Structure 1
Amino acid sequence: MSRISIILSTVFILFVYPLVLYSQPVNVGIVADAWGKEFELLSRQVKTEIEALANAGEGAIFKELSANWQPSRATESLQDFLQDPEVDVVVTLGFLSSEAAARLPVYSKPVIAATVLDPELQELPAQSGKNSDMLHFSWIESFIQLKKDMHSFARIFEFSNLAVIIPHALYSEFRVIDTYLTGNENSFTVSFIPVEKNENPLEQLPVGTDAAMVFPLIQHSDTAITEIFSGLNEQGIPSLSVTGSTYLERGATITFTPSRAFQQVARQVAVRVVKATEENSLYDVLAVTDKPERNPIINMEGLRLTGHFPQWDELDNAILLNVSKIPGEELTLHKAIALALENNLQGKITDQDLRIAEKDIRIAQANILPQIEASGTAVQLSENLVESAMGQKGEFTITGSVSLKQIIYSEAAYANIALKKLMAENAKQSNRQTILDIVLNVSEAYISLLFAKNNLQIKNENIGATLQNLELSKAKEKSGEGSVSDVNRWISELNIGKMDLNDAEARYKAAMYRLNEQLDQPVGNSIATPDSVDVSKTILQHQHILDFYFSNPLLSEKYADFLMNEMMAYSPELEQLATAGEIVDRQKLMKIRQMYLPEVALVGSADQAFVREGVIRNPQLPVPPPPDDITWNLGLRVSIPIFEGGRKKNEIQKAAIEQEKIAWQKEDLLNKLEMGIRSNVQFLQTSYREMELAENAARAAKENFHATQDAYAQGMANVAQLTDAQSVMIQTRQMALGARYQYVLDYVNTERLQGNFSFLEDDSERVQYANRLLNYLTQE
């Protein structure tokens, strides 16, 4: 029940209660334009309110008929009820039925037209206040203020061509609606688009349509209605929902009809019904017409889909829905991690480092394979050099050569291969460390985005609660039960709340930018996340086991011991340090071996003179001519250093120093990792316990707020108590939200320290991890 309606209920009861003390069963006949979602909802609300007021007597009995969108059927149904001795009061729901009721020539029993479109346009009898001068007829102006809402819609969105989507039966049988909405005061054109059951009107829209006004499509399915609004949004056409926020959840852009409108009109009907049954007259019915400010209700998701943003200065007191919902494909945590691993620049850099290390291994291995080189030489000699060569050289010579070198044993070459493999392993662990850091950073950014999104929603709901209290204080001030100071206090609270909302929205966008940076996407991209995502279920795959660990402080230490064991097996930092130690060990061994092991290599060459011209021979000298076929040589080269100035000795000593340094680094790293793990386990246990405490606090604060709001409406609490209750409610909701996400963040950080994210493993690996965790818990 709306808090503001409490005041109105008090006023109603002041004159209704004496009437219902001795009432008999109320027999009510209800005539509706047609049966469908909206009419059925209004009918249920009317019956509920009548029963609530009739409970002091013998209750209420209802009969219902539908006009099926036919004025003649509405008149027939009215006459049937007027002639039915078992019906005391007749109520009409809908424009057609209310019009038919207003046109009855005689009212033999009380008739209440609950939804009159416009009393002046329909030339209804003059009223004093909101009371009919006719003995048995009373009407209530419709809670749907079509013309006023249409003009407010035009002022906010500044459109030129409005399409009115309306059920065909209503439009054809209630043509006064055409005259009503196409007045000369419009600064825009209005086109009516009548639709049959489940018909999509998008193809019927006139060229240039830049706004749509949608009536209740009671014959349409939910899917058909969603498709209509989806199509309007895709075409960038903002839409006005006539009947309230129900259509906003299906994609409509804006409405001015408050969610409690059905309840308000139902209550006014109920008051008139009880009055009529007790006095058999509707003359001089007390006019209590609750007409609060019709604050616009904006669907931010639909607004973003249209890309048509309104004049925000017209929306000071607007109620925003789906403020944190972004259109587009939703990004889950696993998708975000996969996208980051694919696109992250730091990840790409370390991937290249690993590929380079693998190539270095191939290069080192190439050094111990046969090295064959072919060359060609062309030489032009001077005549005196040719003469002095005694027939062995020509004036012009072209020679081809092939050389071979094959290392049989070289400590430096084989050690180089081993070192490159160790360096590749080091690069692999460095790459794995980078991947873990990327997963951690993306998880933190994603969880921060979810927190900012939900925090924005909380701040927006705070605005809604403040607007409700402001409306309540205005009603109290108007009735004389409150003062203008209360109104001013809520105006101040409203503006402070809007400042907090702006800050929350900025933080939401900043969190989105941060996640985009981690994903290496354009920073300004919008990111849609699931509405009701419980990220803890995605990350904490074995919470039932952790519940046991956190139930006892001693067991939490045991959980830390388990994580230490996992860290020793999986930590890439430890693996890198271990690999660095192996590199130093291998370098030291190489230096020692080079002191006494020689390098052995097979060397050889072959030469062939292809052209030898201008040879000058001396026949007096017995010098054979140079060979015309291939000449070759093959040999074994053995080398060992004799004296290098003590370089090898100093290199060995340096390696020993590095070994000692690495041992200390490993000890220091282990201490830091253990400190991090044990500290994070304590943080994790604390946030685990704070979740329940924060939820309890938030639940109690919410109940206290509603109790205080009810007390304020009844004059039993002051504005300071209500503002304090609301402030505590918002703070505890933020605390509960923060505790939930902090627990998940602490867990992610703890898993990072162990060197492995269990929530990213496949099903079998997750089962193995859970078994290890459970087995460790049960070990003595």
Structure 2
Amino acid sequence: MMKPKSILFVTVVCGLFRLSTATAQQKDSLAIDLNTALEIALNENPTVKVADMEITKMQYAKKSAYGALLPEINLIGQYQRTIKKQTMYMDNGFGLGGDVNPEDFEPEELEIIEVLGKLMTPSGGDGNGGFQVGRWNMYTGGVNVSMPLVVPSLWKNIQMSEVDIQLAMEQARSSKINLVNQVTKSFYSFMLAHDSYLLFKQTYATDSINLENIKNKYEQGIAPEYDVITAEVRLKSLIPSILQAENMMKIAELQLKMLMGIDDDVPLKVVGTLSDYDEVMFDAIIPADTSLMSNSDLKKFDLQTNKVQKLYEMQKLQYAPSLVSSFQYTYISQNNDFKFSNYKWDPYSTIGVTLSIPIFNGGQRHHNLKQTEVQLSQLRYQRVDLERNLKLAVKNNIDLINKSVKQIMATQSSVEQAKKGYEITLKRYETGLGTIVELNAAALAVTNAELQYKNAIYDYLAAKADLEKVLGYKITPIDSKN
């Protein structure tokens, strides 16, 4: 006869399961399938948003590079206070002293020259005394305009900016491909955990009914007490598996919520089961073309190599001459006081071109060029290694898909056989021809076969998702290609 403690334990566990189910139903759950999960993730995941912003950022960088070819206009304003004035020296009164022919000038002009000569030579006429020039305050205001006419390195920099935009776009595409792969596998993991949880609960419910039947037979004297004890042990042994499956389901749900970019307090409800994919999974065929033409990692690597190539070409153009035009228009005022209303402003303007021919800069250009040449050689070897690893990944995923297909077919058959065997064993036990040990073994075989079948489906779907990630596009069903 079943002990009161055992009866109480089973009753409490059943009550907890019912309470957990009722509580979950009271909350508003978000019903999702794979397409819904992907749609939400692509709209809400921060990684995708950051990648899209990077494209906008690179577009502004390209406009900035084009701006370097346009005129640069600056308003300037400057004030200078003279601490000590400059001293100027002039020999023999502007150089006119001993070389002056009096017959060439009028008497009044000769007097002026004589006075100027004395002013220029205050120390006695030897020209070594000098005199101070300038005023204490100087103000400058105006506009400077410069524009590159021939600067080859700027043109190549624009080409590098265009490569940056293409690289940012490919990185955004790569982020979406990675996100789709992660969400897809996380959704399948959540579905696998959910199916396992439901399978254990269903097994628990079936075994509970069997336990009640065995108890009734024991009370009628048809079944021995050993059968009741064995059935109780079998029922209790399912509880850890149920709790573990429930915990795995919660972890998978949290992982999926994080990838989808939704709050943790929003409960998710899976639409369908892994068994639903059994009917459509074989509609998709492995493409014969595995040339990696759409692989995002390879495209990003080629764009990065192209960027380094542009850098190499730009470094070579640093040996080329450059021509820059300039224009300046300023007003200058020099005064000894701060009476601004009395200031006189004198205009000053220039226009010209500057030709710069690189000659020598310590060998920096040469060494930078050699460094970039080595980097290009490294990239060529790295691309060969990357392509080899990607081809290996394609082969491994295809092999895993083929292996999973065989496992699905084998486990599908074993599930049918296990269920049939369980029904036969149950009939034998009910008629007294079988034992409880045989019945438990048959029930365990059904559970294991179901788990293996669902795991095989998950392995197939995960391998297919990984193959799509490497190839860079979704493997479409046969019907959609017609």
Q: Same fold (TM over 0.5)?
A: yes
Give the superposition deviation at 1:474: 1.1
Give the superposition deviation at 1:394: 5.3
Residue identity matched to 2:481: A
Q: Deviations over 1:344-401 (max 9, x none)?
A: 2333333343333222222222212111110123445579679999999555454311
1:603 is the counterpart of 2:342: no
1:770 is the counterpart of 2:481: yes
1:423 is the counterpart of 2:140: no
CA contact (8 A) 2:305 2:379 kept: yes
1:659 is the counterpart of 2:345: no
Alignment partner of 2:75 out of 374, 396, 401 = 374
CA distance in 2, matches of 1:297, 1:437: 37
Where 2:70 maps in the other structure, the secondary structure is coil
Q: Deviations over 1:522-549 (max 9, x none)?
A: 3353211214576748995xx4352xx6
CA contact (8 A) 1:386 1:395 kept: no
CA distance in 1, matches of 2:200, 2:88: 104
1:576 is the counterpart of 2:296: no
Unaligned residue ranges in structure 1 (runs of 5+): 1-151, 157-253, 255-294, 308-326, 550-558, 616-625, 760-765, 772-780
Alignment partner of 2:429 out of 712, 715, 723 = 712
Shift in CA distance, 383/485, structure 1 to aligned 2, threshold 3 Å: closer
Give the superposition deviation at 1:600: 0.9
CA distance in 2, matches of 1:406, 1:296: 79
Residue identity matched to 1:665: Q
CA contact (8 A) 1:472 1:713 kept: no
Give the superposition deviation at 1:584: 2.0
Q: Deviations over 1:31-56 (max 9, x none)?
A: xxxxxxxxxxxxxxxxxxxxxxxxxx
Residue identity matched to 1:544: D
Residue identity matched to 2:203: N
Which residue pairs with 1:687 in the alignment? Answer: 404
1:447 is the counterpart of 2:188: yes
Shift in CA distance, 632/439, structure 1 to aligned 2, threshold 3 Å: same
CA contact (8 A) 1:514 1:523 kept: no
1:328 is the counterpart of 2:34: no
Give the superposition deviation at 1:447: 0.7
Which residue pairs with 1:489 in the alignment? Answer: 230
Report which structure shows greater RCO (CA 8 Å, sep ≥6): 2
CA distance in 2, matches of 1:708, 1:767: 43
* Sequence identity percentage: 17
Between Structure 1 and Structure 2, how many residues are aligned?
Answer: 427
Alignment partner of 1:544 out of 279, 283, 299 = 283
Where 1:330 maps in the other structure, the secondary structure is strand
Which residue pairs with 1:304 in the alignment? Answer: 24
CA distance in 1, matches of 2:279, 2:214: 45
CA contact (8 A) 1:386 1:394 kept: no
1:673 is the counterpart of 2:397: no
CA contact (8 A) 2:135 2:336 kept: yes
CA distance in 2, matches of 1:436, 1:731: 34
Q: How does 1:352-367 map to 2 (within 5 A)?
A: 352-367=53-68
Which residue pairs with 2:248 in the alignment? Answer: 507
CA distance in 1, matches of 2:86, 2:17: 106
CA distance in 2, matches of 1:342, 1:657: 42
Which residue pairs with 2:310 in the alignment? Answer: 586
CA distance in 1, matches of 2:348, 2:366: 44
Point out the more displaced range, 451-460 or 432-441: 432-441
Where 1:716 maps in the other structure, the secondary structure is coil
Shift in CA distance, 627/300, structure 1 to aligned 2, threshold 3 Å: closer
Alignment partner of 1:414 out of 151, 155, 158 = 155
Residue identity matched to 2:449: T
Q: Hey, which of these two has a bigger chunk of helix by percent?
A: 2
Unaligned residue ranges in structure 2 (runs of 5+): 1-7, 90-129, 338-342
Where 1:723 maps in the other structure, the secondary structure is helix
1:338 is the counterpart of 2:39: yes
CA distance in 2, matches of 1:297, 1:627: 96
Q: Deviations over 1:650-689 (max 9, x none)?
A: 2222222222211111111111111111111111112122
CA distance in 2, matches of 1:580, 1:297: 56
Where 2:148 maps in the other structure, the secondary structure is strand
Where 1:298 maps in the other structure, the secondary structure is helix
CA contact (8 A) 1:386 1:393 kept: no
Length-normalised TM-score, structure 1: 0.51
Q: Deviations over 1:680-708 (max 9, x none)?
A: 11111121222222111111111211121
CA distance in 1, matches of 2:187, 2:154: 49
Residue identity matched to 1:653: K
CA distance in 2, matches of 1:770, 1:493: 51
Alignment partner of 2:271 out of 525, 530, 554 = 530
CA contact (8 A) 1:429 1:572 kept: yes
CA distance in 2, matches of 1:537, 1:582: 45
Q: How does 1:178-577 map to 2 (within 5 A)?
A: 298=18, 301-306=21-26, 327-381=28-82, 395-531=136-272, 536=277, 543-544=282-283, 546=285, 559=287, 561-562=288-289, 564-565=290-291, 567-568=292-293, 570-577=294-301
Q: How does 1:13-32 map to 2 (within 5 A)?
A: none
CA distance in 2, matches of 1:571, 1:668: 15
Give the superposition deviation at 1:445: 0.8
CA distance in 1, matches of 2:84, 2:368: 56
Where 1:523 maps in the other structure, the secondary structure is coil
Alignment partner of 2:356 out of 629, 639, 650 = 639
Shift in CA distance, 658/514, structure 1 to aligned 2, threshold 3 Å: same
CA distance in 1, matches of 2:277, 2:133: 89
